[in-house]
Structure 1
Amino acid sequence: MRRLALLAVCAALLAACTTGGRAPSPGGSAAPAARWWVPEPGTPWQWQLTTPVDTSVDAPVYDIDGVENGPDVVRALHAKGRKVICYVNAGAAENFRPDHGAFPPGVLGASNGWDGERWLDIRRLDLLRPLMAARFDTCRKSGFDAVEADLVDGYTGDTGFPLSAADQLAYNRMLADLAHQRGLSIGLKNDLDQIPQLVGVFDFAVNEECARYGECDRLTPFIRAGKAVFHVEYDLDTAGFCAETTALRFSSMRKNLTLDAPRWSC
């Protein structure tokens, strides 16, 4: 009996070794490992939210609109060895998006200053979770590697709702969970005040104009965690910020505010 038990243990160990360190499930297939891409500090990138996307830019990471660009664009970039981030507006409803009618009127708040956009009542996780899940599903089905969830710091502005920091943390953590459940990484967009609480659940940062406002040091927890900080400036020339942000190991460039194809990288 002892010999049979020992043989059984050896067989189980051998099976685990041949299935990536996991024993087979009772159904006979190995349980999939939960993995997603985490970009390293200093990785160059391109950010273009206009279309058509210029796929000739020599950058290993592209951040592009997840609605205007389908699987064909993602495949073309993957064929060039690029990783591709799916831009999703997670903090506002946009009346020009095909799913706009799915947002209940009660979650629509004040205008955020962009044409056709209104802040969302992020306290309503019950209503917004399935809507954001559907958007992230679109990213996954199109083959994207990651999500850039925009407008995830609405609690700091005039949204039309009495949002708190705790509301924003709960919402942002929900977004991270939705991305990871789909095998997608996710970036924390701006929201500097909550970096200490969220650096552990987000896989990179996306920042606008930290050099202009003297805030770049606040993003360094991502670098210390081995995660990229994808950073842009709009008004400063590269001579005005590249020395600082390169020393911090940021992935920095200057872009036009329209986020069209041209880029001036550090």
Structure 2
Amino acid sequence: MIPVLRRIGVPALAVLAVIGLGFGAAEPTTYTLPPVNAKFDYQIGAAYTPPSGVTVVSRDRTATPAAGLYNICYVNVFQTQPDEISWWQTNHNDLLLKDSSGKYVVDGAWGENLIDVSTPAKRTAVAAIVNGWIDGCASKGFKAVEPDNIDSYERSGGLLTKANAVALLQLLALHAHDKGLAIAQKNTTALGTAGKNAGLDFAIAEECGRYNECDAYTSVYGNNVIVIEYTKNAFTKACNGYGPSLSIVLRDLNVTAPGSGTYKYDAC
């Protein structure tokens, strides 16, 4: 199917001001959403040759895009990658979230420190770092960016809020669009329409079939939703409910490559 094409121009008041001065409007930046209901592969754990028929793939920002496909660039925005914690501590320790006793706030399930986005100044600093990564995604040839752990505020012990997360997303969306990239809402049904209002273009939803949440994404983004399930039962359930309209895949939880012993892939 034909991807949706969006255009981002200068703000309306700026356009009016330019026209009023007799100058032409600036050429808008264009970006393309992933094709709807395309065969997808989720490769954020390891990059490998996509299965036959795959036209959309998501890979880590450190990976090379798959040639000839629509590539989504995975970026862990609101938490640290486990192997990058020392880099953050050395270079940006002030941007790691700490509790009242000065201890780092950590997502224990994945061993990832939470990023402190609680103030405008810290969000600006975080955006400067992440926007540099987004620049790298664009220069490599990715077509979209996938900012992960938007819901870190739920694991912050009340130190962060949903509004903090949305404010950072707005900064990232502006920059991604300026670089010609679409940007996804990764999980987080609690956002409602706030993510789209902040500039997000489509959704990547883990286990929405398992938890009966897919409607929360389609009600905001229509069929511009990519679904990843990690159990066969949930995958079958998602396919039965949304297979004709959404991109849906079955993957193993650690999103490993073929030959790993735990690799799992299916699509409907």
How many Å separate the matches in 2 of 1:30 and 1:171? Answer: 28
2:92 corresponding residue in structure 1: 103
1:104 and 1:90 map into 2 onto residues whose CA distance is 15
Q: Which residue of 2 aligns with 1:154?
A: 152
In percent, how many aligned pairs have the same letter? 27
Which residue number corresponds to residue 10 of structure 2? Answer: none
2:44 aligns with 49
**Is the CA contact (8 Å cut-off) linking 2:72 and 2:145 kept in structure 1?**
yes
The residue that corresponds to 1:177 in the other structure is: 174
What residue ranges of structure 2 are gaps of 5+ in the alignment?
1-23, 98-103, 258-263
Aligned counterpart, 1:231: 227
- Cα distance between partner residues in 1 of 2:107 and 2:155: 8
Match of 1:263 among 250, 265, 268: 265
Shift of the alpha carbon at 1:190? 0.6
Distance of aligned partners of 1:50 and 1:168 in 2 relative to their CA distance in 1, 3 Å threshold: closer
The code of the aligned residue for 1:102 comes to N
The one of 244, 247, 250 aligned to 1:251: 247
Match for residue 219 of structure 1 among 217, 220, 234: 217
Larger radius of gyration: 1
Q: What is the alpha-carbon distance in structure 2 between the residues aligned to residue 259 and residue 211 of structure 1? A: 18
Deviation of the 1:176 alpha carbon: 1.2
Equivalent residues, number:
229
Tell me if structure 1 keeps the 8 A contact 2:80–2:113. yes
Counterpart in 2 of 1:83?
70
Compared CA separation, residues 197 and 55, structure 1 to 2 (3 A): same
Taking the aligned partners of 2:43 and 2:52, their CA distance within structure 1 comes to 10
Aligned to 1:194: 191
The CA distance in 2 between the partners of 1:120 and 1:111, in whole Å, is: 9
Distance 1:161 1:194, change over 3 A: same
Distance in 1 of aligned mates of 2:39 and 2:131: 28
Any conservation in 2 of the 1:102–1:131 contact (CA below 8 Å)? no
The secondary structure found in structure 1 opposite 2:155 is coil
| 1:199–1:221 Cα contact (<8 Å) kept | no
Equivalent positions of 1:9-48 (< 5 A) are 31-48=26-43
- Residue in 2 that maps onto 1:65: 60
| Pick aligned residue for 1:143 from 141, 144, 147 | 141
Q: What does the per-residue CA deviation read over 1:87-142, in whole Å, with 9 as the maximum and x for residues that have no partner?
A: 10001123513953432245334111255410111222132111111111121222
CA distance in 2, matches of 1:110, 1:257: 24
Q: Which amino acid aligns with 1:92?
A: Q
| Cα separation, partners in 2 of 1:106 and 1:131, compared to 1, 3 Å | closer
| CA 255–43 in structure 1, closer or farther in 2 if over 3 Å, else same | same
Aligned to 2:192, the other structure's residue is in SS state helix
Q: Is the 8 A contact 2:203 2:221 kept in 1?
A: no
- Pick closer, same or farther for the CA change 1:103–1:210 going to 2, 3 Å: same
Q: CA deviation at 1:264?
A: 0.7
Secondary structure of the corresponding residue to residue 83 of structure 2:
coil
Q: Corresponding residue for 2:9?
A: none
Structure 1 gaps, min length 5: 1-28
Counterpart of 1:199 in 2: which secondary structure? helix
233 and 102 in structure 1: CA distance in 2 versus 1, 3 angstrom threshold: same
